Amino acid sequence: MKGIVFTEFLDMVEERFGYEVVDQIISESKLSTDGIYTSVGTYPHSEIVKLLMNLSDKVKIDPKTLLKEFGKYLFDVFLKSYPHFFSSVDGAFAFLHSIDKHIHIEVLKLYPDATLPKFISYESDNGDLIMTYKSERKMSALAEGLIEKSIKHYNEKCTVKVENIIEDGSVVIPFNI
């Protein structure tokens, strides 16, 4: 997993819960990296899971809720760092359609070793956006946060419903977007 996920996760934890909590979850997680990450490095996915679970225990918030909030936080990071991805489309549907077809292609140019989730999207007959998320990392709550924040960013009037296709969360369809 790319280091930007780790560095931004720890930044969010510090911003929302304080440096002491960051220090505690790193030390309690017993990480092979000792919690030292660079945004361009590649690290074991298991480390973000350990950090997330220890944060959940520490702040008494469900891990899925924390991961969804991280998705919203990450949207703002991406918006600030890569504004051209957002200004080149005219709404949430167009932006969400562009993730696999444009954004992930550009990410792979920068980080050829990145293992990205797969997003397959299409518009239904009644105008809903149907979007399938596939990832062995099972971080669909992060994707849901990104999706919800993109809807808010483009000031759209829609809701997100989530249906697990595979119960472990590796294949999810947010629909009625």
CATH number at 68-175 = 3.90.1520.10
Return the number of other C-beta atoms located less than 10 Å from residue 168's C-beta. 9
Give me the residue spans of the domains in the chain.
3-61, 68-175
Task: Indicate the helix (H) or strand (E) that contains 164.
Answer: strand 161-166
Q: What is the mean pLDDT of residues 104-122?
A: 86
Q: Give the residue with greater pLDDT, 114 vs 23.
A: 23
Higher pLDDT, 125 or 69: 69
What are the distances in angstroms from CA 155 to CA 85, 151, 152, 173? 17, 6, 5, 22
Q: Report the alpha-carbon distance of residue 13 to residue 25 in Å, rounded.
A: 10
pTM: 0.89
C-beta of residue 68 within 8 angstroms of C-beta of residue 145: yes
Tokens of 98: 């562009």
**pLDDT tens, residue by residue, 146-177:** 999 999 999 988 888 888 777 777 676 654 55
pLDDT-derived band of residue 125, with 50, 70 and 90 as boundaries? confident
**Partner residues linked to 162 by β-bridges:** 174
Q: Report the pLDDT value the prediction gives residue 174, as an integer from 0 to 100.
A: 58
User: Over the stretch 94-110, which tens digit does the pLDDT of each residue have?
Assistant: 888 888 888 888 888 88
Residue 173's pLDDT is: 66
pLDDT digits 0-9 by tens, 26-85: 999 999 999 999 988 999 999 999 999 999 999 999 999 999 999 999 999 999 998 988
